[in-house]
Structure 1
Amino acid sequence: MSGYDYTGKVMLVTGGAGGIGSALCRRFAIGGAVCVVVDIDGERARRVADSLPGAGHLGLGCDLLDRAGVADLFEQVTAAFGRLDVLVNNVGMTSTERFDVRTVETIEREIDLNMISPLVATRLAVPLLRASADPRVVTTVSLAGIFPQGETPIYAASKFGLRGAMLSIALDLGAKGIRVGSVLPSATDTPMLRREAVDGGNSLQFQDPPQQPSDVVAAVVSLLDRPRLEAYPRVGESLLVRFSMLMPNLLPKLLPLFRKRGERGLARYLEDLRRRGLARQVDGRWELVKEA
């Protein structure tokens, strides 16, 4: 079976200037695709687009929580290309602030960005996707869409909802010619994870060293090569969390068994960030070093 042919394909990536998003855009462009790099920071989006091999790439700034802005985004894609072959819903955020002290506004914002905005983007992209000969939607979910995260429950809630929605949308749109699938990464070495690490986020996700953006890219590529509902960068981890969720009432007893290992893994990750010049300790507290 031949792999997916990127040549001339129009591929839009939200969160496209981030660690995973920019790696996806580069892989697509190397294959011959034309990329639409979408990020809330328009200048960063344009820099990523300008750095990609090939020609015709667009870097567009868009706040995905601004409904009118999202509608305008797809109008710009319509004007430039007249179609969209692949939509990659990759944008996401998290917070280490505990649930009992968070404001309602931050809860709503995280849910809106992680879960609602991919649904809105997918719906508004449908007319452009229907103009493609082989339309696809790929969404970056997370293993947190299967397994609860005590320290980051809003992130888990948004990903649980997003996973369910994308599975359902896949069943609906698949019958109408638009293939929909999701990738479910575990902890990935990106600026978002580094921020979570220095802020004391969920230690359970550091059972093993974080994967790299390239691992997520490989999962997306496999999903394009062989369309299916879900793909996992680390299959072993996905099997473990799915098995654990067969017995959710045992979680209060099982999680403490893994927490110490996770805390050791977090300490190793922080030391790795220090060695790479990405984090430092000041007065006993970790903080990120601003990257040039």
Structure 2
Amino acid sequence: MKFDFHDKLIVATGGAGDIGTAFATLAAARGADVVVVDIDARRAARVAEGLPREGTPIAGDLTDRGFVEDLVDTLGSRFGRVDVLVHNVGMTSSERFDERSVESIERELAVNLLSPLVLTRLAIPLLRRSSDPRVVTTVSLGGIFPLGETPIYTASKFGLRGAMLAIGLDLEAKGIKAGSVLPSAVDTRMLQEEAVDGGNSLQFQNPPQQPADVIRAMVSLLDRPRLEAYPRPGESVLTRVAMLAPNLLPRLLPLFRGQGERGMERYLRTLERRGIVRREGSRWEWVEAERV
């Protein structure tokens, strides 16, 4: 059966990002009340106001325990329950592991791994007040396959995938269905930043998928609850097969890196045609109007 969004209370973290906005828009169009949670107050308000059914913006840092506790209290007092908790918050960095600060490592792990787990745990009482509670998490194929250029992102996604699998198994018997979506590279602001900064070239083996592709997988988890869904099933099979022999990765990765670098260059040229970036000499730079 199709999931009934009508009058459901949906909380979307990273709600002002590309994937979060796309999901919030679809949910509101189908009759849901959406809470847009984002660290950027201006963008959260803009997204909430622009939804087909106006949402509620709440701005704050999900790595701040005090904010998360206040968020849950606010949700309880204003809405009384949470029907669907959607985790979209995430970050990455193009800095190499041997050059980046310890503080940046801790920050990335806190955003990508700890914040979804802490919010899920604190929201359990509100989820239990729903007649059909769900948790949907955007993970990544980086939770299966190690991305050598971004090991902290890989660590956070490996951890998040494992944790959400275990949480899904644990909570199902308690009436809460939890599942994750594992996309490959998605054409979002974060991926654009990574391409401009010269980030992980392995993500560009194929043209990036669109947020709409991820949203379809998220909705499919609501329509047919299960532990994981893959927007591009073929890519998920390839990554899992490659992980059957991890000791071969040092020999396999150079074969893919060149293709990835060419794919990233094609993606940057696509962004240039869209008026998002421009080439200055040997470097790519943002068109400032697109950064606002």
TM over 0.5: yes
2:267 to 251, 266, 269: 269
The amino acid of 1:129's aligned partner reads L
Aligned pairs for 1:250-269 within 5 A: 250-269=248-267
Aligned pairs for 1:117-136 within 5 A: 117-136=115-134
Per-residue deviation, 1:188:
0.3
Report if the CA contact (8 A) 1:85-1:136 is conserved.
yes
**Higher alpha-carbon deviation: 74-83 or 159-168:** 74-83
Distance in 2 (alpha carbons) for counterparts of 1:6 and 1:103: 43
1:223 to 221, 224, 234: 221
Distance in 1 (alpha carbons) for counterparts of 2:146 and 2:268: 23
Distance in 2 (alpha carbons) for counterparts of 1:15 and 1:54: 19
The amino acid of 1:33's aligned partner reads A
Distance in 1 (alpha carbons) for counterparts of 2:263 and 2:241: 22
Aligned residues: 290
Aligned pairs for 1:1-292 within 5 A: 2-55=1-54, 57-290=55-288, 291=290
Question: Secondary structure at the residue paired with 2:186?
Answer: coil
Distance in 2 (alpha carbons) for counterparts of 1:265 and 1:177: 44
Question: Secondary structure at the residue paired with 1:101?
Answer: coil
Distance in 2 (alpha carbons) for counterparts of 1:263 and 1:240: 19
Distance in 1 (alpha carbons) for counterparts of 2:97 and 2:258: 22
Question: Secondary structure at the residue paired with 1:59?
Answer: strand
Distance in 1 (alpha carbons) for counterparts of 2:165 and 2:219: 19
Distance in 1 (alpha carbons) for counterparts of 2:261 and 2:282: 17
The amino acid of 2:12's aligned partner reads V
1:151-188: per-residue Cα shift (whole Å, max 9, x none)?
10000000000000000111111110000000001000
The amino acid of 1:51's aligned partner reads G
Distance in 2 (alpha carbons) for counterparts of 1:197 and 1:18: 17
Distance in 2 (alpha carbons) for counterparts of 1:283 and 1:167: 46
Per-residue deviation, 1:251:
0.5
Distance in 1 (alpha carbons) for counterparts of 2:282 and 2:200: 19
Work out the percentage of aligned pairs sharing the same amino acid: 66
Question: Secondary structure at the residue paired with 1:241?
Answer: helix
1:62-91: per-residue Cα shift (whole Å, max 9, x none)?
100110111111111111110000000110
Report if the CA contact (8 A) 1:194-1:288 is conserved.
no
Distance in 2 (alpha carbons) for counterparts of 1:59 and 1:121: 17
The amino acid of 2:127's aligned partner reads L
Give 4+ residue runs of structure 1 displaced > 2 Å after superposition: none
The amino acid of 1:9's aligned partner reads K
1:169-218: per-residue Cα shift (whole Å, max 9, x none)?
11111110000000001000001000000111111110110000000100
Distance in 2 (alpha carbons) for counterparts of 1:42 and 1:198: 25
Distance in 1 (alpha carbons) for counterparts of 2:60 and 2:171: 25
The amino acid of 1:207's aligned partner reads Q
The amino acid of 1:261's aligned partner reads Q
TM-score by length of 2: 0.98
Question: Secondary structure at the residue paired with 1:99?
Answer: coil
The amino acid of 2:90's aligned partner reads G
Per-residue deviation, 1:136:
0.3
Distance in 1 (alpha carbons) for counterparts of 2:256 and 2:44: 39
Report if the CA contact (8 A) 1:78-1:128 is conserved.
yes
1:40-66: per-residue Cα shift (whole Å, max 9, x none)?
0112111111100124x2011010011
The amino acid of 1:233's aligned partner reads P
Structure 1 runs not aligned, ≥5 long: none
Per-residue deviation, 1:225:
0.4
Per-residue deviation, 1:283:
3.1
The amino acid of 2:35's aligned partner reads V
